[in-house]
Structure 1
Amino acid sequence: MVMEIHRERAAILGTKRNEDDARVFARVRLRFSLAGQQSAETSAIVVSVAVTAERNQPWRRTRRQILASAWHWLERYFDGASLEAGDRNLFSDVFEEQPWQKGSSLSPTQERGLQRDLRRIAREHAV
């Protein structure tokens, strides 16, 4: 793992059981701090996880599975794993060497040109 995570607390905010495939979906709030973090405050994030748990499985065991899965998700996130929604992970390397794609945003050349034009317009209309 690139960043060391100090686990502070975890709380299950809500669960929902799917009887068809014995899965339990849960929203979990994780409170943590990162090694070398300047702030004394703990960070918090809410994650959604799913675990397989039979109907007659004790809640303690299901709870342990949910919390372990949530902490595992957080560790993977800081390691750069992609998110399920298809959004880019800020901790991954995809931003470093990704070429400009048509239609996604301005190219660096276009951005510089627009910034130059804006400065020229601001100078012309300055009082």
Structure 2
Amino acid sequence: MSQNKDLKKALLAISSFTLVFGIVLWVLFSVLVMIGVSSTGLLRIVCWIMASIFMVVIMIGLIVCFKRLNGIRRQIMLNNIYVKLKELGFTTEEIDDRQKVFSQQKLSRLKNTSRKLSKYIEEKRQTK
């Protein structure tokens, strides 16, 4: 479970970085646009080119950060499923076989699997 705590810290760090990164570049973009609108000649062209470059950097940076966030969320879900399967009494080899299948699934499907396992574990506890 400490691995999940480390992953959650990484999730928080990346999302905080994404927010700060986006805000700073957006402010720079806005300043360049304001300068570009109010100026003339070569300065106007340079400002618009720099603003366009900043916009592309913002978009690429946000896409990369969100992909990392999804990767971390996926790993947290896989760890949760591993713990739940272990709790149900599966052996490590059986869990590894299932993890190969789970690692190919989408995040929403992993969440549903985790919920179903939780319900099954809860029902099993209540019947004991």
TM-score by length of 2: 0.26
Q: Higher relative CO (CA 8 A, sep ≥ 6), structure 1 or 2?
A: 2
TM-score by length of 1: 0.26
Q: Which has the higher helix share?
A: 2
